[in-house]
Amino acid sequence: MEDCLFCGIGSGDVSAKKVYEDEIVVAFDDIAPQSPVHTLIIPKEHYKHLGDGVPAETLQSLFSAVPEVARIKGVAETGYRVIVNNGADANQTVGHLHVHVMGGRAMSHGMVSFSE
């Protein structure tokens, strides 16, 4: 899709610090990490979010890449959090489906914070 930042990263037109890649997905470090390990996994094809008719094969590749990324980034044993922000209320800021893999320090128990 034109003018989509993550399509650009998926195709290699926009540079990113790649962590993992296969035919269907690519993983790269977040430009503004919120934890010592903060990597994003995207499908190379454009889907807005999980509700955008994503084929099962793509979902499988996306989530199969999670433990692989965790292993590469050295957090497979210590643990990590997996987050997918879907749409406006989740504060999704890039409209191309992506999975956050975050770890490298202990996190609080709470998973969510709501704005007032």
| Per-residue binding letters, 19-58, with ligand 5GP (x by CB under 6 A) | ---------x-xxx--------------------------
| Residue of 7, 10, 16, 73 interacting with ligand 5GP (CB under 6 A) | 16
Smallest gap from residue 94 Cβ to Zn ion (A): 8
Residue 33 is encoded by which pair of tokens? Answer: 């990490």
Read out DSSP for 48-96? SSTTS---HHHHHHHHHHHHHHHHHTT-TTT-EEEE---SGGGT--SSS
- Interface positions with ligand 5GP (CB under 6 A): 5, 16, 28, 30-32, 85, 91-94
